[in-house]
């Protein structure tokens, strides 16, 4: 059976924290603030850029009035930053190619800003694999609101969402779509806390896992 499979981006297909941290720290350096470690920045990824900037500002006690300018500067850097192909998690490209060859339609549903998402997909050579790309500023609301996932799935009844975080799991649940958890990404809680969720730790296993599950969808 062919499915529409939506993927989260940061922490699912791509380990993008080094690039995000670079953008954040470049903008902070002009203020004489920071730098923040990649680990700290990773903890702020998942709810979109405005939420990340608010957490950066809180962490460093930056003046409230600086939040909007800081967001604008980070967004400008983020839209230009190069993502190396090595940022893809192992096996991602091959797994996506297999899923396409099997006739599935693929989409991106990420809270990363849309322009930065398109650049990241182009840099890593993934653009042509996806039929639809919904970014964090594509719609009035972000994940965990399910509207983004509905848009990414474009009305397809037989669908799956693949992501790495609690936000992704919550989004899938709100949309009524089955969820597959990639356990090697930026999840904040223990895997056991999400043990009711089907999971995988290697993209080499994903096509088989989807084939097994698609029979029960």
Which tokens in the block code for residue 208? Answer: 């088989």
8 binds ligand PGA, rule: CB under 6 A? yes
Question: What is the end-to-end Cα distance of the chain in Å, rounded?
Answer: 9
Q: What is the per-residue binding string for ligand PGA in 187-206, x denoting contact by CB under 6 A?
A: --------------------
As beta bridge partners, residue 181 has 163, 199
10 binds ligand PGA, rule: CB under 6 A? yes
- Distance, in Å, from the CA atom of 186 to the CA atom of 42, rounded to the nearest integer, reads 7
- Distance, in Å, from the CA atom of 172 to the CA atom of 162, rounded to the nearest integer, reads 9
Active site residue 164: no
Q: Shortest distance, CB of residue 4 to ligand PGA, whole angstroms? A: 18
Q: How far is CA 85 from the centre of its chain?
A: 16
Nearer to ligand PGA, 143 or 150 (CB): 143
144 binds ligand PGA, rule: CB under 6 A? no
Which tokens in the block code for residue 64? Answer: 């409230």
150 binds ligand PGA, rule: CB under 6 A? no
Q: Which of 71, 104, 112, 187 binds ligand PGA (CB under 6 A)?
A: 112
Q: What is the per-residue binding string for ligand PGA in 72-111, x denoting contact by CB under 6 A?
A: --------------------------------------xx
Nearer to ligand PGA, 55 or 214 (CB): 55
Q: Shortest distance, CB of residue 211 to ligand PGA, whole angstroms? A: 25
Which tokens in the block code for residue 65? Answer: 């009035």
Q: What is the per-residue binding string for ligand PGA in 159-178, x denoting contact by CB under 6 A?
A: ------x-------------
**Residues at the interface with ligand PGA (CB under 6 A):** 8-11, 45-49, 110-112, 136, 143, 165
């Amino acid at each position: 059976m062919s499915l529409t499979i939506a993927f989260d981006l940061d922490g699912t297909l791509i380990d993008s924290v080094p690039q995000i941290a670079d953008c954040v720290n470049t903008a902070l350096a002009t203020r004489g603030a920071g730098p923040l470690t990649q680990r700290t920045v990773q903890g702020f990824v998942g709810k979109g850029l405005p939420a990340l900037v608010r957490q950066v500002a809180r962490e460093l006690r930056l003046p409230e009035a600086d939040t909007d300018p800081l967001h604008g500067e980070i967004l400008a850097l983020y839209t230009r930053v190069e993502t190396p192909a090595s940022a893809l998690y192992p096996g991602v490209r091959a797994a996506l190619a297999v899923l396409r060859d099997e006739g599935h339609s693929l989409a991106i549903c990420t809270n990363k800003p849309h322009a930065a998402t398109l650049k990241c997909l182009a840099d890593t050579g993934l653009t042509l694999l996806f039929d639809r790309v919904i970014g964090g500023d594509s719609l009035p609301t972000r994940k965990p609101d399910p509207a983004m996932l509905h848009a990414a799935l474009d009305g397809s009844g037989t669908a799956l969402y693949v992501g790495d975080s609690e936000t992704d799991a919550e989004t899938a649940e709100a949309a009524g779509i089955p969820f597959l958890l990639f356990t090697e990404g930026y999840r904040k809680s223990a895997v056991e806390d999400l043990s009711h969720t089907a999971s995988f730790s290697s993209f080499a296993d994903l096509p088989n896992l989807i084939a097994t599950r698609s029979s029960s969808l």
